[in-house]
Structure 1
Amino acid sequence: MINIITYILLAIVCFGYCHKSRPKRHFSSEEYRINTPSCDVVCEGQWKSEFHANFHKIYDTDYFEIPLDTAIVKNRASLKMFCSSTIQKYTCLRKECRILRTPWSAEKHICIGHFDNFDRNINCLSLTDRYVQKECSDVCNSIRIEISQAEISRMAEMEFSRQEKSEFIEQNKHCNFIACHQLCHEYIINKVCIDSAVSARSVVKSYYDSYLEREYTALNKDDQDELYSSFCRRVTPGQDENLYTANMTRYNNLTLDRMKNDIRSAFSILD
């Protein structure tokens, strides 16, 4: 009897001390939110991880949307591999995160909105890629970019802050760079893909047009519409190049003509 009573007492004491010495931590809901990535971040992270595994490139530093990256247009297998992973990302956002509406992105445009067009024209895009990556990049990285005196005067009249002036100039440079790559890629398509030139140019134009529309939408959303230069408006579908600064058409024509001449000079070997 004594042994049984002693055993019971020891068991009770042990249970009490063991329970206290090995506490189980319970995370509060606030701690869980802080330490757990949001659902969309997880989907994005998985996609970038697959990109690295498939192409041996780090997405954030080695992938470029302008011009179209070699990882996408190298061949049909690369395009399909990139788009398979991209579709999985958007499926993850929709099913796991319940995010039904997502903004425009380069990968969404290529893989969800226009995959069939890219797939049909992949041979041409692949043939032109080496010129786009080297010669077009050389030209577009060295083009002369200027702000018209009329727009300089307008910035003064509207009392732009130093930061606003800087953002205006940088956005204008970005638009020039994008427009240059579009013109250059279309020029190469005309020279290299004679039979499929019309279709391939349409694919490239649609991509760059949508990219520029995204640029404008981002500024307009933040009520910074006036930071979009006349040239940016000229090359962005649906925008008026003379909205804020009048009589800019001739100036923008000269800018585009200068780009085209630089491109032709770089590719004179193909003429």
Structure 2
Amino acid sequence: MFNFITFILFAVVCISYCHKSRGRRHFGDEYRINTPACDIVCEGQWKSEFHANFHKIYDTEYFEIPLDTAIVKNRANLKMFCSSTIQKYSCLRNECKIQRTPWSAEKHICVGHFDNFDRNINCLSLTDKYVQRECSNVCNSIKIEISQAEIDRMAEMDFSRQEKSEFVEQNKHCNVIACYQLCHEYIISKVCIDSAVAARSVVKSYYDSYLEREYTELNKDDQDELYSSFCRRVTPGQDENEFTANMTRYNNLTLDRMKNDIRSVFSILD
């Protein structure tokens, strides 16, 4: 009898512990085991050249969202940035024997889609001042909320305080990214009449790929439950109702509110 009761108690404790010790996602740089020093050298040289070329510190003064002025200011800047980036990936491939590298903003622009950026650089340059000023004002002040349905789901899934915090921060990040995409596409339509379709496609591809990277980072750590319904709505290939049902109307209202805020700021151009 004693052994049976002991076994039952042990099983209950184990189940409870296993449930509460789900893996956590940690934001920040990932530690890669056995990373050769070679790739650090390639990366360091690239950042050093970025500083020399643009007089900005890459880690603290360059922004991937929105597209940074340093690279869309003009064609010369774009080519200078991409020439250095191509050298970085050649270094990784030839010197470090690293044949496969994950998605990155600079890889997307310079390796995967340089011709598209180059063809549309005039439009990107013309719209940059609006993106940096008006779009930033809108997107840094948008109202961001978590739906009651998702709050209830977090309670049902017994999210830890850290998981709740990460869920909220990721949702904010997705809202800001989506806002910049909508805003940039909107201003392109107003300023770049003849090339608007092509330029919007360039911007959409960039932001879509950025969001796909966001999801991939969570999914590979088996933490995709921390990706909100809104994040799924704006990320290609994801289902906004996968974890929380009936979220389409809520997400529609969120996007409509963003669009109205953007139109209000740029009403002078209408």
TM-score range (shorter-chain normalised) is 0.7 to 0.9
Give aligned pairs, total.
236
Give the Å deviation of 1:106.
Answer: 0.1
- Look up the match of 1:148: 147
Aligned to 1:236: 235
- Runs of 4+, deviation exceeding 3 Å: none
1:100-144 residue CA offsets vs partner (Å, 9 max, x unmatched): 000000000000000000000000000000000010001000000
Aligned: 1:96 with 2:95: yes
Match in the other structure for 2:124: 125
**Cα RMSD over matched residues?**
0.9
CA distance in 2, matches of 1:54, 1:221: 35
Q: How does 1:8-157 map to 2 (within 5 A)?
A: 38-157=37-156
Structure 2 counterparts to residues 194-213 of structure 1, below 5 A: 194-213=193-212
Partner of 1:19: none
User: What is the deviation of 1:161?
Assistant: 0.2
Partner of 2:158, secondary structure, is coil
1:162 shift after superposition: 0.2
- Could you give the per-residue CA deviations for residues 153-196 of structure 1, whole angstroms, max 9, x where no partner exists? 00000000000000000000000000000000000000000000
CA offsets, 1:19-52, max 9 Å, x none?
xxxxxxxxxxxxxxxxxx7000000000000000
Amino acid at match of 1:104: W
Q: For 1:270 and 1:159, locate their aligned partners in 2 and report how far apart those are by CA, in whole Å.
A: 48
Q: Could you tell me which amino acid in structure 2 is paired with residue 151 of structure 1?
A: E
- How far is 1:207 from its partner? 0.1
Shift of 1:151: 0.2
Match of 2:172?
A: 173
CA shift at 1:68, angstroms?
A: 0.1
Q: What is the deviation of 1:244? A: 0.3
* In the alignment, structure 1 residue 216 sits paired with structure 2 residue 221: no
TM-score calculated relative to the size of structure 1 = 0.86
Aligned residue in 1 for 2:269: 270
> 2: CA distance between counterparts of 1:111 and 1:269?
34
1:162 and 2:161 are equivalent in the alignment = yes
Larger Rg: 1
Unaligned runs of 5+ in 1: 1-36
Code of the aligned partner of 1:187: Y
Separation of aligned partners in 1, 2:221 and 2:136: 31
Q: What's the CA shift for 1:147?
A: 0.2
The one-letter code sitting in structure 1 at the alignment partner of 2:181 is: Q
Q: What's the counterpart of residue 23 of structure 1?
A: none
Alignment partner of 1:187: what SS?
helix
Using the alignment, how far apart are the partners of 1:157 and 1:269 within structure 2? 47
1:159 counterpart SS class: coil
The DSSP-based 3-state class of the residue aligned with 1:64 is coil
Amino acid at match of 2:219: N
Q: Match for residue 191 of structure 1? A: 190
Q: Which residues of structure 2 form unaligned runs of 5+?
A: 1-35
Q: TM-score, normalised by structure 2?
A: 0.87
Give the match for residue 29 of structure 2.
Answer: none
Find the aligned partners of 1:269 and 1:221 in 2 and give their Cα distance.
45
Q: Distance in 1 between matches of 2:260 and 2:188?
A: 17
Which protein has greater RCO, CA pairs closer than 8 Å, 6+ apart?
2
Tell me which amino acid in the other structure corresponds to 1:203.
Answer: V
